[in-house]
Structure 1
Amino acid sequence: MVLNCYPYKDLVGKCFKNYSLRQCLVFDKRKGPCPPMQILHQDEMFSCKPNYYKLHNRCKVLSSFVVRSDIAGAGSPAAAYQLPEFQLTSKVRGVCFYAVTSTVAIFLFVLMVLGHPFVLLRDRYQRSFHHFIAKIWASMTVFPFFNIKVEGLENLPPKNSPAVYVSNHQSFLDIYALLTLGRNLKLISKTAIFLFPIVGWAMLLMGVIPLKRMDSRSQLQTLKRCMEIVKNGGSVFFFPEGTRSKDGRMGIFKKGAFSIAAKTGAPVVPITLVGTGKIMPAGMEGILNPGSVKIIIHQPLQGDNPDALCNEAFNIISNELVRQG
């Protein structure tokens, strides 16, 4: 990220407060990195003592600060992937991404509202019309920024066949990638997302299932609703980890999705998502790095033992992540 030099005090304060920096490196456009300079204590940087003016005087001939985030390359050596260093262009791409997705959502949401009464009358559980609109929205949003490659389309169950889909969760972009598949998947989302204008309202129309993560009663209601959807021919989608991974390594799978599959006889369809965490890392939703996304759809699993289904799906996805590097 490239930041302007002025005002120095506010800039350095922002560096330390917002990005947890260990140091700020100063560069000259013409000569490259400056000779090693004194690294001031954080308290000295925030005060108007002589040390601050020393920093000001040493920097006034320079044109920019180059800031490295701790999160770029953070984690243990065993981390699944190295998070890319983000630059100003990634920040600009992020702003453009949200501008595009918001603009497209406004126009398509109107179509959803107009068609919703007919959807409730004719297609209450599948809501195919709404999912078709969502596919257009996701495709138009991601097309200018990154490409998506899909492997294993032949493994998808028939479109109107009930199934339980599960996937690893790396990024906010996972939802966009999955919507481009064009399947009528009933996702599960935390209740706060439904308060977002346009997008949250569209999720309600699509039949996305709300969940309060720390509320056991809400979790039970969510599972019951998923069971009802599957029994009536619909499909549901779970991120069994429950939250996004910040380093690419999968967390332990929760068994709710696999219990639904075991009780209803619906197949479990494991999906591996690759690349979304590098383009928009978890916790850094304001940036959008260059890259590409791959969706690998694995063969459906059948069984009546939730534990066995859970372990098999976990192994399939984790092994694929290792294979993809």
Structure 2
Amino acid sequence: MAMLFPLCWVFDRTRRSALSFCNDVWATVSTALFFPIVVEGREHLPRHDEAAVYVANHASFMDIYSMFHLRRPFKFISKTSNFLIPVVGWSMFLTGHVPLKRMERRSQMETLKKCREMLADGGSVLFFPEGTRSATGKMAAFKKGAFSVAAKENVPVIPVTIVGAHEAMASGKEYELHNAGIKVIVHPRIQSTDADDLCARSEKIIKEALVNNS
């Protein structure tokens, strides 16, 4: 990835597709050693070069690994301290994922601005609208930030339901990895210039699929 980075910086600064491919391979190989991750609804995925906002429920560190199985060059938002983790954090930095200081309003606004710039330049972003991992696996109410970005840039929202990640590795119990399969369900895109409508529809779609598949 270190060798690929200069080429991506010059020719593909926003999507960094080659580096995203490294992430995808890393996630696929490492999770295959422990349990299967199945993706349903691949036909609903946008093209690799199409800007979109992906939104998913969030209950486990395994959610990111699971989303990499979609094989799309999206950038996700993560707290700044994660970028300091050896190897993993360095990979996140090289790939162009977005750091966030959660308790700082200025950092939150800068993050949303950066996401809008990525979308305007043809990149895609991934949000977990709950804001943090669920400790119980039950989905919390969605926050509107992701949908405001999608509405302002008039790009599609791709709702994604992740089933089984909490059972595989619960929040707060990362030292326990259970042999539980994970299902990633990609739903049809929705698009609107009304952020409230996008938020309500996405939350309903993801929650219903989570309940029906749990």
Q: Please say whether Structure 1 and Structure 2 have the same fold, judged by a TM-score greater than 0.5.
A: yes
Residue 282 of structure 1, aligned match among 128, 149, 171? 171
Give the % identical residues.
48
The structure 1 segments of at least 4 consecutive aligned residues displaced by more than 4 Å after TM superposition are none
1:186 correspondence with 2:72: no
Structure 2 residue ranges without an equivalent (≥5): none
Partner SS state of residue 210, structure 2: helix
Partner SS state of residue 23, structure 2: helix
TM-fit CA distance, 1:225: 0.1
Residue 162 of structure 2, aligned match among 245, 265, 273? 273
TM-fit CA distance, 1:180: 1.8
Aligned to 1:127: 16
Instruction: Measure, in 2, the Cα distance between the counterparts of 1:119 and 1:158.
Output: 19
Instruction: Measure, in 2, the Cα distance between the counterparts of 1:145 and 1:180.
Output: 15
Aligned to 1:145: 34
Aligned to 1:74: none
| TM-score, reference length from structure 1 | 0.65
| Cα RMSD for the two superposed structures | 0.6
Residue 230 of structure 1, aligned match among 111, 119, 124? 119
Residue 250 of structure 1, aligned match among 139, 162, 186? 139
Rg larger for: 1
1:261 correspondence with 2:155: no
Residue 194 of structure 2, aligned match among 293, 296, 305? 305
1:200 correspondence with 2:92: no
Instruction: Measure, in 2, the Cα distance between the counterparts of 1:171 and 1:320.
Output: 17
Instruction: Measure, in 2, the Cα distance between the counterparts of 1:303 and 1:295.
Output: 24
Partner SS state of residue 113, structure 1: coil
Once the two structures are superposed, residues 170-189 of structure 1 have per-residue CA deviations (whole angstroms, 9 ceiling, x without a partner) of 10111111112211011000
1:215 correspondence with 2:104: yes
Larger RCO of the pair (alpha carbons < 8 Å, separation 6+) = 2
TM-fit CA distance, 1:247: 1.5
Partner SS state of residue 159, structure 1: coil
Aligned residues: 214
TM-fit CA distance, 1:315: 0.3
Instruction: Measure, in 1, the Cα distance between the counterparts of 2:164 and 2:25.
Output: 21
1:162 correspondence with 2:63: no
TM-fit CA distance, 1:248: 1.8
Instruction: Measure, in 2, the Cα distance between the counterparts of 1:278 and 1:259.
Output: 31
Partner SS state of residue 187, structure 1: strand
After TM superposition, the structure 1 = structure 2 runs for residues 88-127 of structure 1, keeping only pairs within 5 Å, are: 112-127=1-16
1:323 correspondence with 2:209: no
Partner SS state of residue 161, structure 1: coil
| TM-score, reference length from structure 2 | 0.99
State the AA in 1 paired with 2:198: L
Task: Assess if the C-alpha contact under 8 Å between 2:39 and 2:69 holds in 1.
Answer: no
